[in-house]
Amino acid sequence: MASLFSITNHAIAQGYDWRSRIDLLVNKADSLSMASQQNFHLHKFLANDRPIRETWHYTVSDGRVIIFEVHYFVDSIEFLEVYYLDRDQVICTEQYEIEYPDLQDDRIRWGAVGFFQGPAVRQFVTMGKVPKEFSSLSSYDLWARFKNRYKELTAQRTLQEKNTKGAIFAP
């Protein structure tokens, strides 16, 4: 009986272990980002050639990015993506569409949070009315979105670091 109890507790602990680990890493990233966040802007175009300006924020710990955010506005709607990383791999993503009406508080129109183990989504939760283009997201879609965004971030960091090393500072 004792061994059955031990096996059951071990199985339950392993089932929740992945989430506890992610929660700890997310809390660490959030704490560090309050003190050492860096940012930059990218100018892009939507599918209809409408210009937008993306604002990127990222935090580095031990030489690696541990969190980055991308947000931009289209009219009075803010689009926000947050990616938490562990050793250059995504562990959690958040996506939100937030409405800013004139006389009311901010409202989340829809949101989604995904938790990863490797390239596979372990858990995916949505809220609000998810737009039809996001209603059939697969784990591959989320992973591919992260990979594309991470590639953009890496390229921009490389450019910033080159500019910083080549800069001459006058006293």
Starting at the edge strand that comes first in sequence, how are the strands of the sheet with 107-117 ordered?
38-45, 51-61, 64-74, 77-86, 89-99, 107-117, 120-128
127-159 per-position pLDDT tens digit = 887 777 666 666 677 788 899 999 999 999 888
Tell me how far apart the alpha carbons of residues 69 and 76 are, in angstroms, rounded to a whole number: 19
The residue that leads in pLDDT, 60 or 2, is: 60
CA neighbor of 86 nearest in space, from 111, 115, 57: 115
**Mean pLDDT confidence for 90-99:** 92
> What pLDDT score was predicted for residue 8?
35
> What pLDDT score was predicted for residue 104?
64
Give the Cβ contact number of residue 141 at 10 Å: 13
> What pLDDT score was predicted for residue 125?
85
Tell me how far apart the alpha carbons of residues 9 and 21 are, in angstroms, rounded to a whole number: 17
